[in-house]
Structure 1
Amino acid sequence: MRIVIITGASSGMGREFALQLDKKLHSIDEYWLVGRNEEELAKTKKKMHTKTRNFIADFNSRKALFPLVQELNNIQPEVKMLVNCAGFGMVGYFDRISYNDNLSMIDVNCRALTSLTHDCIPFMAVNSRIINLASAGAFNPQPGFAVYCATKSYVLSFSRALRGELKDLGIYVTAVCPGPVNTPFFNKAERYGNVYAFKKLFMADQKAVVSKAIDDSIRCKEISVYGRTMRAYRVLAKVVPHRFIIELLNLMHKLKK
C-alpha cells in the first residue's frame, strides 16, 4: 500500500498540500492526515477523493505520534511522500514571549518533525519524497522572531544534510522556504507583537506556494522558494552580513513603538 503522510493538514499550507497532492498523484492508496484540530481535519478529509485517514495529534506532546507510528509498524506501507507542515511562530522579543510558547515552537517545528521523519524513512523506497516546510526566515536571524527563525534554520539545515544522506537511496528531500503566506499563521503569531508591516506587502497566495513546492519536489530540487522577492531576499541574506540585517530590524522594531 502506498501512502502520503501530511502533518498540519487541518488548515493552511498542510491542508493545501493534501488537496493539491490528491489531484496530482494518481498512484496513492491512502492519505494519512495529521493535525490537532479534529473538526478542521474532518473538513479536509471530506474534500479528498482518495481514501484518507485522520490522526489527531498535538505535537507539544512527545506521545502524540505514537498511534501513527504504531499503524506504520502494523501495516508496513510504502511511504511515497512525507510532508512536514505542522508548525507555528510567535512574533515578539524572546523574553516577552512565554516560556511555554518558546519551547512549544521548538517542540512542534523541530522535535516533532525530526521524530516523524526518523520513523518514516524505514518505510520509504526509491523515488520517495520528503517535503519540509521551512521559511525565508531560515536565511538569517531576526530580532522579534528569534526562536521561530532559529527553528526554521534548523529545518533548512536538517533538510539539506538529510538530502545528502538519502540521495544514494533515491529518497529526495526538499525544504520549502516561503516568505509571508496568506494563511491563519498570523492569527496566532501576533499574540505578543505585530509582524513588520512591510512583510505583509509581500504576502503570497498559499495555492501558488504549494503548487511550486510540489513541482520542485517532483523535480528533486533541494530548496523551493516562491516569488522573485523571496529569491532576491535569499541572495541578499547570503551577501549582507547578518549583523547588519539584525541592526536594521532592531531599528525598525524601535520605530514601531
Structure 2
Amino acid sequence: MKIAIVTGASSGMGREFVLQIPRLYKNLDELWVVARRTDRLKSLQEQVKIPVRIFDGDMQRNYIFEKIQKELEYRQADVRMLVNAAGYGKIGRVASIDLNEQCGMVDLNCTALTKMTGICLPYLSKGSRIINLASAAAFCAQPGFCVYAASKAYVLRFSQGLAAELKKQGILVTAVCPGPVHTEFFDRAGMLAVSKKEAFCAEPEAVVTQALTDSVHGRNISVYGAAMKGSRILSKILPDRLLVWGMMKINNIE
C-alpha cells in the first residue's frame, strides 16, 4: 500500500499539503491525515479524490503514535511521503508566556516531529520523501519569539542531519523555512509582530507548491520568496548580536 502521511492536516500548511500531494503522486493508495480536529479532517476528506484515512488525536500524547505505528505494520505500508506540519508558536517574552505553552511548543514542534519520523523510517524506501515544516525563524535567535525560533532551529538542523544519513538510501529530506504565512497560526501565536511582517506574508498555496517542487528536485531546504531568501543569506554573514538587535526591533522588544 503506497501512502503519504501529513500531520497538522486540519488547517494551514498541513491542510494545503493534503490538497496538493495527490497532484504530485498519482498512484497513492491512501493519504493518512493526523490532527486533533476530527470535524475538519472529515471535511477535508471530502475534498480529496483519493481515499483519506483519519487519525484524530493529540500529538503530545503517546496513543496517537501507537495507533499509527500499528497501522503501518498491519498494512505493511510503503510511505512515499511524510509531511511533519504539526506545530504552533507563541509570541512574547519568555517570562510572560505560560510555561506549559512553552514546553508544549517543544513537545509538538520537536519531540512529536522526531517521534513521527522515527516510526515512519522503517517504511520509507528509495524515492521516499520527508518534508519537515521549519521556519525562517530558525535562521537566528528571536527575542520575543524565543522558544518557537529555537524549536524551528532544531527542526532545520535535524532535517539537515537526517538528509545526510539517508542520502545513500535514496530518501530525500527537505526542511521548509517560510516567513509569515496567511494561516490560523497567528490566532494562537498572538499579534505582537504581525503588523511589521504583514508585507512579507505569503499564501499557503504558494509556499506548499514551492516546498513540493523543491522536494522533487532533491533540495534539502525550501525557502519561499525573495525576502526570506535574503534573510537566510543575512543570517550567514551578519554577526549574531546584530541579528538579535534587528529581531528585537522587528518584534517590538525593548
TM-score normalised according to structure 2 size? 0.97
Task: Report what 1:157 is aligned to.
Answer: 157
Amino acid paired to 1:184: E
Q: Higher mean Cα deviation, 220-229 or 60-69? A: 60-69
Q: Identity across aligned pairs (percent)? A: 44
Alignment of 1:218-257 (within 5 A): 218-253=216-251
The 1-side partners of 2:49 and 2:104 are apart by: 33
CA contact 1:57–1:65 (8 Å) conserved in 2: no
Task: Report what 1:79 is aligned to.
Answer: 79
- 5+ residue gaps, structure 1: none
Q: Higher mean Cα deviation, 233-242 or 156-165? A: 233-242
The 1-side partners of 2:159 and 2:250 are apart by: 31
Task: Report what 2:136 is aligned to.
Answer: 136
CA contact 2:193–2:250 (8 Å) conserved in 1: no
Task: Report what 1:173 is aligned to.
Answer: 173
Task: Report the RMSD for the aligned CA atoms in angstroms.
Answer: 1.3
Runs of 4+ in 1 over 3 A off after TM superposition: 251-255
Deviation at 1:233, TM superposition (A): 0.6
TM-score normalised according to structure 1 size? 0.96
CA contact 2:192–2:251 (8 Å) conserved in 1: no
Task: Report what 1:29 is aligned to.
Answer: 29
Amino acid paired to 2:51: K
CA contact 2:22–2:50 (8 Å) conserved in 1: yes
Task: Report what 1:91 is aligned to.
Answer: 91
Task: Report what 2:201 is aligned to.
Answer: 203
- Number of paired residues? 254
SS of the counterpart of 2:154?
helix
Deviation at 1:63, TM superposition (A): 2.8
CA contact 2:174–2:221 (8 Å) conserved in 1: yes
The 2-side partners of 1:248 and 1:8 are apart by: 31
- 5+ residue gaps, structure 2: none
The 2-side partners of 1:93 and 1:159 are apart by: 27
Deviation at 1:200, TM superposition (A): 1.4
The 2-side partners of 1:251 and 1:33 are apart by: 39
The 2-side partners of 1:52 and 1:131 are apart by: 19
Deviation at 1:23, TM superposition (A): 2.3
Q: Higher mean Cα deviation, 59-68 or 132-141? A: 59-68
Deviation at 1:73, TM superposition (A): 1.4
